[in-house]
Amino acid sequence: MRVIASSAETYAFVDRMRTDGKRIGLIPTMGALHEGHLSLVRLAKKNCDVAIATIFVNPTQFGPNEDFQKYPRTLEQDLDVLRNCGCDLVFTPTNDQMYPAGHSTYVEPPNVASHWEGKIRPGHFRGVTTIVLKLLQIIPAHVGYFGRKDYQQVAVIRGMVRDLNLPIVIEACETVREPDGLAMSSRNRYLSAEDRRRALGLSRALGSAQRLIENGCTSGSQIEQCMRDALLAAPVDSIDYAAIVHPETLEPVESILSPVVGMIAARVGTTRLIDNATFTLG
Ligand code: AMP
C-alpha cells in the first residue's frame, strides 16, 4: 500500500492507473477509522481495480465552536487497518496543500444542503463540497464511496455531481452498526460509559419509528413524536432534529405514501451524534 502526502504524486499515480485502463474507487475519510470506513474500502476493492482512501481532517467543514482541534487523529493505526483491507493508496495531504495561503474559492452546495445539518452547522456542507471536489481533481476516480450514515452528505454530493457534470458515480453504502445498534462513528470514542448507553436512544428511536410505520401509521408528525419520546427516554441531553423526510429532497413528509427517511441529530454529554434509517411501508 502506498502512502502519499503530495497531490502531484497522487495525481501521477492515478493518471498511470487510468492509462492502464484501471477502474478507480475513492473513499474520502477524516481518519480515526472504524468498520464503517473499512466497509467502504472493501466495497471499492470488490467493485474497482484500485481502492484509494484519503485521510484529511478538513477544517472548512467544522464550525468555530466545533471539535476540529480535538477531532481524533490516529494515522498509524489507520494505515495498518487500511493495509489489512487491501487498500492500494492512501492520500494524506497537509492542510497547506489543500488550503494554500490565499485560498478563497469554495463550492456553493446544492439546495438540499439547506435543511437539517446545513441549518444547524452553517458552512458545513460548503466545506464538504469544496473538499470533495478538490479531492476529485487530484484523484479523478470512476466511483466515489460514501456512507449512508451521513445521509444528507450523500444527497449533497449527488447534487454537486449532477449540477457540476462531474464524471463520477456515487455509491451510498449501508451504515455499519455496533452489535447493540449504535451507528459506528469516529466521535463515539468521545462517549463516557454512561453516555455510550444513552447514545442507544438514536437507533432505538429509529427502531420505534419503523415499527410504527409497519403497524400502518402514515402520519409524519406522529412518527416524529414517537422518535422524540424514545430519545427523551434514553435520555439524550438535547435534540437538534428528529424528522421524517423525503428520501431525495429531504423535505419533511406529513402523509407517508412511499418510503421515507427518519433523520436524527442529538447531543449526548458533549458529543453530537447523527443517525438515520430508511423506512418502508408495512
Ligand atoms: P468521516 O471520516 O466521518 O468523514 O467518514 C468518511 C466516510 O465514511 C463517509 O462517507 C461516512 O459517511 C462514512 N461512514 C462513517 N461512519 C459510517 C458507518 N457507521 N457506516 C458506513 N459508513 C460510514
Report CA(175)–ligand 1 centroid distance (Å).
8
What are the tens digits of pLDDT across the range 255-266?
999 999 999 999
Determine whether 37 is an active site residue.
yes
What's the pLDDT at 236? 98
> Crossing angle, helix 200-214 and helix 220-233, to 10 degrees?
150
What's the pLDDT at 195? 98
Verdict on whether the full-model pTM lies above 0.75: yes
What are the tens digits of pLDDT across the range 230-250?
999 999 999 999 999 999 999
**Section 72-101 average pLDDT:** 98
What are the tens digits of pLDDT across the range 132-153?
999 999 999 999 999 999 999 9
Note whether 264 and 275 are within 8 A (CB).
yes
Domain boundaries, the chain: 2-173, 189-279
Homologous superfamily of 2-173 in CATH? Answer: HUPs (3.40.50.620)
What's the pLDDT at 194? 98
Q: Which CATH number fits domain 189-279: 3.40.30.10, 1.20.140.10, 3.30.1300.10, 3.40.190.10?
A: 3.30.1300.10
Report CA(157)–ligand 1 centroid distance (Å).
14
In DSSP notation, 200-252 reads HHHHHHHHHHHHHHHTT--BHHHHHHHHHHHHHHTT-SEEEEEEEE-TTT--B
What's the pLDDT at 281? 85
Could you give the percent of the chain with pLDDT greater than 90?
Answer: 99
Report CA(15)–ligand 1 centroid distance (Å).
26
> Which atom of ligand 1 lies closest to the CA of 185?
16
Could you give the percent of the chain with pLDDT greater than 70?
Answer: 100
> Which atom of ligand 1 lies closest to the CA of 37?
8
**Quick check: 106 pLDDT over 80?**
yes
What are the tens digits of pLDDT across the range 51-60?
999 999 999 9
**Quick check: 282 pLDDT over 80?**
no
Mean pLDDT of the chain, nearest integer? 98
State phi, psi for 259 to the nearest 5 degrees: -55, 140
d(CA 176, CA 183): 6
End-to-end CA distance of the chain: 46
**Quick check: 202 pLDDT over 80?**
yes
